[in-house]
Chain A
Amino acid sequence: MTAIDFPARSLLRFITCGSVDDGKSTLLGRLLYDAGMLPDDQVEALRRDSLRQYPRGDALDFSLLTDGLDAERQQGITIDVAYRYFHSARRSYVVADCPGHEQYTRNMATGASHADLAVVLVDARKGLLAQTRRHTYICALLGIRKIILAVNKMDLVDYKKDIYDSIRVAYADLAEQLGIMAVHALPVAALSGDNVGAASSHMPWYVGPTLLDLLETISIEPLEATDFRMPVQWVNRPDQSFRGYAGTICGGRVRAGDEIVVQPGAHRARIARIVTADGDLPQAHAGQAVTLTLDREVDISRGDVIADAARPAPEADQFAAHLLWMGDEPLLPNRGYWLKIGAKVVNARVTSIKHKVDVNTQASLAAHRLQLNEVGYCNIDLDHPIAFEAYATNPALGGFILIDRQNNATVACGMLDFALHRATNVHWQHLDIDKQVRAGSKGQQPRCLWFTGLSGAGKSTIANLLERRLSALGYHTYLLDGDNLRHGLNRDLGFTAEARVENVRRVAEVAHLMVDAGLIVLVCVISPFRGEREFARSLFSDGEFIEVFVDTPLEECERRDPKGLYRKARAGEISNFTGIDSPYEVPETPEVHLRTRGTELEAMVERLAKRVLLHANH
């Protein structure tokens, strides 16, 4: 390689899939070694490490090159995704070495999301296994279209052609079922390097390219997402004279003068300049990070998509999507999460799990929740419409992540399929009489007081007294009691975590309607999860929602046991009882924190009344 041609090389990103026993790390290490890409001191360190692991051997253990983390080396398995970089004569490579076990499906999906191609390893002695199918499925799910099938450990089956052929044919069949059209197969022996960097003398019957040759020559056409799209990452406004929209183009190309539309929405403008630090460009295309200026003032914020005006992206707020769950806590339908797509973040709920997909067989299974590493086909509901594309058309506008609103963890990745029609067909009906008018006629500011706490903490007792007090003062109120609602609206719900989420969602929506009607609403539900209380809060305007934590210690509630429920729960007669065998997540910053033990009931009611009436008069 000369210094001059280096910058014009192409970049190939690929992943290696297979289990530890398949010799995946060995193959990768071998490839780097045979390609002459390992520096001398790394080879020396490898020799030392190999000797420590196998004191009597003198062979290099190539798997030690890529199993980087301490814990991984101790357990002898690859847990996380490790990225490796090497340059050959023609290409620059980024390799993601992904773990193979089912419990690391999320790590593999992560690696696959960055890859153009996958190298799938199969042990010649074992043939196709459930995991081969799983790995191929994950590749297909994440949109990888090319696969190299490396049938490894040919040395252990005496380099027999018929064994290789039967695996190759069976795999082609599997790949086709999963929608992957391009498969290149080859027989290798990673340990000795046969057909890795050099042709094997043991397998004269194989006349195709070596693995290295294949990687060097395989063509990787980028997905042709032809319509111009650019999510706005950053509004660049150094002074009054310049207003640019910075982002990475994720589809098509754009020229100065082109007409664009800002989505979601219908504001149109023309491209004035395509600005970069290296000067203005006449045109730019997918992959380039640029700053666009427009010929007129349009209100554009981070997360909006600038698109070809003649071929705008579809917009919707309800979707069907595949979801791969990555969180330690399970996905619960109707719980709120943040959804990030492009540069946009919106509130999202999974309204239903249509079915779960068995990652090993792709069978559809019924499911009420998704656990770590499970894939589900789901309906998703957003609080705002977004511009999007089907993942298969444009991954940059069809791939998204879900973020837990409590602990900020990335809990899922998803691939949008299509918009659900009801979102576009059911329009929000505009009404002339609104909340302000209704509240005004009652002479009050509507509020939602959300009483949360253990069963028997005193929520209903306090709320009942407060309502009597407010009513006596002439305010219009309503008390929504969790237990009472379970006799009607929520009669169909049980006490599993999923049912509790749905229970709270319905109560919150009803409270929201009543606040919209201008009422002061008192809600008494245990509502044990922070996520649901935050969801309830998100429905209301600032200052409207008052979270009241009725803080009574468990032993005190249990001592009171007004309904005899704790006794039954302790006796095992009822299950999923909050505080006993189901958790209560204490509010971190409630508006009102009532410590009931040692406080007079009247004093608490007085305090709440003051809080409600603080700004309650119209």
Chain B
Amino acid sequence: MSSFSGHLDKLEAESIHIFREVAAGFQRPVMLYSIGKDSSVLLHLLRKAFYPARPPIPLLHVDTTWKFREMISFRDQVAASGGVQLLVHINEDGVRQGISPLVHGAAVHTDVMKTAALKQALDKYGFDAAIGGARRDEEKSRAKERVFSFRNAQHRWDPKRQRPELWNLYNTYIHKDESVRVFPMSNWTEMDVWHYIRREGIPVVPLYFAKERPVVSRDGALIMVDDDRFTLRDGEKVELRMVRFRTLGCYPLTGAVESTASTLDEVIAEMVESRSSERQGRVIDHDPSASMERKKQEGYF
């Protein structure tokens, strides 16, 4: 075991502190579980924070119905492994309307199946605090968001009316119908996440590791053909390539990177060499360059 002076220990302690504040400060907290590596770390920290008790906070997965199949089977394994309660919510209105990222585009799909679905779930269960794995190093508007980020009754974020957040003193007071989003990993970086996964032996979805996968090159991104809902455009052909994913989301919206890194150490080594940032593979973040800030104001996580 490494000495406590290491920065991973500090990050871990800070996150655990935040989890405990949430459990003590709110009536009905929930942890948003998106199956990705950050969620895996978040779940690990959640368990540590309340050990030996079972975490007093349930997990919620907002299922867009377009996640990679391997993500869903990983999620179901986690749920079956016990110790946590997992809720799954799907926007049934969106399913009835047949919302698809392939037909309606990334923006509409994300808005209906993710943002609206999340609001539905929060309202349905009456959650007053929703914990997420977002990190400040991911994106410019996240860099200024609080650890405890206030949302009004319409789930909207107002960047001009954020509460000052000093030391580790978090203000958990809200009125009825208001809520907060809580980000215990605000101060982690992508590098920290991978090193922590390695140190703690945390399981992650195998899609993060390179393997030959069927992909199509579309609009400058390598999209994996994960099921038969994916239809080829003229001139497109499916190729088997050694690829892996740096972030995971809906498969038609998530670009793979060509890589031979098939183990944790290789992934970390590749990242040290890497010269591009992790959200580059996400279609939703591109242009206009403040789009994430706008999405967050509307209630996106």
Q: A242 touches which one: B52, B137, B276 (CB < 8 A)? A: B52
For A248, the chain B residues whose CB sits under 8 A away are 13, 16-17, 168
The answer to whether B164 and A289 touch across the interface, beta carbons within 8 angstroms, is: no
- Bound complex: CA A413 to CA B53 (Å): 34
Please, which residues of chain B bring their CB within 8 A of the CB of A157? none
Answer yes or no: B189 CB below 8 A from chain A CBs: yes
Our pick among A41, A233, A244 for the contact of B17 (Cβ within 8 Å) is: A233
Interface digits, B12-27 against A, CB 8 Å rule (1 contact, 0 not)?
1100110011011000
Q: Which of B160-180 touch A at CB < 8 Å?
A: 160, 162-169, 171, 173-175
Complex contacts, A338 vs chain B, CB 8 Å? 173
Flag whether A252 is at the interface (Cβ < 8 A). no
B49 to chain A, nearest CB (A): 7
Q: For chain A residues 73-98, which have a beta carbon within 8 Å of chain B?
A: 73, 79-85, 87, 92, 94
Contact across chains for A409 and B163 when beta carbons are under 8 A apart: yes
Q: Which residue of A lies closest to B288 (CB)?
A: A70
Contact with B along A26-68 (1 / 0, CB 8 A): 0000000000000111100100010000000000000000101
User: Is B51 among interface residues, defined by CB-CB distance under 8 A?
Assistant: yes
Does any Cβ of A come within 8 Å of B69's Cβ? Answer: no
Q: Contacts of A400 on B, CB cut-off 8 Å? A: 169
- Contact between B163 and A396 (Cβ–Cβ < 8 Å)? no
Establish whether residues B166 and A291, one from each chain, have CB atoms under 8 Å apart when the complex forms: no
Contacts of B290 in A (CB 8 A): 69-70, 73
A312 contacts chain B at the CB level, 8 A cutoff: no
Q: Indicate if the CB atoms of B48 and A9 lie closer than 8 Å.
A: no
State whether the Cβ of B80 lies closer than 8 Å to any Cβ in chain A: no
**B16 and A289: CB pair below 8 A?**
yes
Judged by a CB distance under 8 angstroms, whether B187 is at the interface is yes
Q: Is A300 an interface residue (CB 8 A)?
A: no
What residues of B have a CB within 8 angstroms of the CB of A493 in the complex?
none
A285 at the interface (CB under 8 A from B): yes
With A and B bound together, what is the CA distance between A221 and B52 in angstroms?
A: 33
CB distance from B163 to the nearest CB of A (A): 4
Per-position contact with B for A87-112: 1 when CB-CB < 8 Å, else 0? 10000101000000000001101100
Kindly state whether residue B202 has any CB partner on chain A within 8 Å: no
For residue A39, which residues in chain B have a CB less than 8 angstroms away from its CB? Answer: 274-277, 280
Q: Say which residue of B8, B52, B160, B167 sits within 8 Å of A275 (CB atoms).
A: B52
B7: nearest residue on chain A (CB-CB)? A11
Nearest-Cβ distance from residue B170 to partner chain A, whole angstroms? 8
Segment of B60-68, B97-105, B139-147, B217-225 in the binding face: B139-147
A85 near B189: Cβ-Cβ < 8 Å:
yes
Contacts of A6 in B (CB 8 A): 191, 195, 268
Q: Chain A residues near B125 (CB, 8 Å)?
A: none
**Binary per-residue interface labels of chain A (363-390) against chain B in the complex, 1 for a CB within 8 Å, 0 otherwise:** 0000000000000000000000000000
Q: Is the interface of A mostly helix, strand, loop or mixed?
A: mixed
B13 and A289 form a contact (CB under 8 A): yes
Residue A296 is within 8 A (CB to CB) of chain B in the complex? no
Q: Does A246 contact B (CB under 8 A)?
A: yes
Contact in complex: B24, A343 (CB < 8 Å): yes
User: Count the A residues whose beta carbon is within 8 Å of the partner chain — how many?
Assistant: 71
Residues on the B chain within 8 Å of A8, using CB = 2-3, 5-6
In the bound complex, residues from chain A placing their C-beta under 8 Å from that of B169 are 340-341, 399-401
What separation, in Å, do the CA atoms of A40 and B276 have in the docked complex? Answer: 5
Q: Are A69 and B48 in contact (CB under 8 A)?
A: no
A575 touches B (CB below 8 Å):
no
Which of A11, A73, A83, A343 has a CB less than 8 Å from the CB of B136? A83
Does A614 sit within 8 A of B, measured CB to CB? no
A106-140 with Cβ < 8 A to chain B: 106-107, 109-110, 113-114
Instruction: Flag whether B199 is at the interface (Cβ < 8 A).
Output: yes
**Residue A332, interface by CB 8 Å:** no
Cα distance, A45 to B274, chains bound together (Å): 17
Would you mind naming 5 contact pairs between A and B with Cβ atoms under 8 Å apart? A49-B289, A289-B49, A338-B173, A395-B167, A409-B163
Q: Identify 9 new A-B residue pairs, CB closer than 8 A, beyond the known A9-B6, A277-B51, A326-B164.
A: A3-B272, A6-B191, A8-B6, A41-B277, A92-B7, A92-B189, A94-B187, A238-B53, A275-B52
- Chain B positions within 8 Å of A, measured between CB atoms, are 1-13, 16-17, 20-21, 23-24, 47-54, 136-137, 140-141, 143-144, 159-160, 162-169, 171, 173-175, 186-187, 189, 191-192, 195, 198-199, 265, 268-269, 272, 274-277, 280, 289-290, 293
9 tightest A-B CB contacts, nearest first: A238-B53, A11-B7, A68-B140, A277-B51, A408-B173, A289-B16, A40-B275, A39-B277, A277-B48
Residues of chain A at the chain B interface (Cβ within 8 Å):
1, 3, 6-11, 39-42, 45, 49, 66, 68-71, 73, 79-85, 87, 92, 94, 106-107, 109-110, 113-114, 233-234, 236-238, 242, 244, 246-248, 275-278, 285, 287-289, 291, 302, 326, 338, 340-341, 343, 395-396, 399-401, 403, 408-410, 413
